[in-house]
Amino acid sequence: MIELLSTLLFGAIAVFFAIRLYSVLGRREGHMEAPASREVDQNRAERDAAQAQLRPAFEGPAAAGLEAIAQADTSFDPGQFLDGARKAYEMIVEAFARGDRDTLRGLLAPKVFDRYEAAIAKRETRGESVRTEVERIRSAEITEAGHSDNTATVKVHFDAEIATETRDSDGKVTAGDFSRLSTVHEDWVFQRRTDDSNPNWVLTRVATA
């Protein structure tokens, strides 16, 4: 009888502790689900990362060319390039109007500089002066890009609002009207050598779009 009571007592104690363990840890399969969930999250993260790597780094009509440039120059960033192209547009347009050869020399390819310098010289010979101001660049978009022979090339389409006028030696307006804005649509082509430590891009061509 005593042995039976002892067995029942220990059995009750065992059931009590089993219930307590169940309440703390939960079911065995439930307890094992936590690390499985972490594994699922990790697998999902790895899968998302792999998909992100498969997605193209660049988009748009110039994507392939931009990728080629980025492979040759890992520091290339289209957004930063466009910021610089906008600044260069304003600097070049206004420097040309002022006849500022020093500013133009650092921003233009040699052949382009020679043409701009010749135009400035003709104006000076005629005693003409030009006043130009870029009021606003409405848009700047990379439309073409490529990399060949260690040279990166990017074409940017600009839509800009510009005020300009030309005066003769007597101060009379002969062209333009500075009080009115003209909308200009142009394609500018910039280039730089990717095998050169010089990070500066230069303007190699301008065409009306």
DSSP 8-state assignment for residue 76: -
Q: Give the residue, 47 or 185, on which the prediction is more confident.
A: 185
User: What is the pairing mode between strands 202-208 and 151-167?
Assistant: unpaired
| Residue 60 confidence (pLDDT) | 83
Residue 148 region by backbone torsions, left for phi larger than 0, else alpha for psi between -120 and 50, else beta: beta
> Six-digit token pair at 116?
């701009």
Phi, psi angle pair for 61, to nearest 5°? -65, -20
**pLDDT tens, 164-205?**
999 999 999 999 999 999 999 999 999 999 999 889 999 999
Tell me the H-state helices in 73-198: 78-98, 101-105, 110-126
**pLDDT tens, 86-133?**
999 999 999 999 999 999 999 999 999 999 999 999 999 999 999 999
Residue ranges with strand state E in 20-170: 129-148, 151-167
Q: Give the residue, 173 or 51, on which the prediction is more confident.
A: 173
- CATH no. for 63-208: 3.10.450.240
Domain boundaries in the chain? Answer: 2-54, 63-208
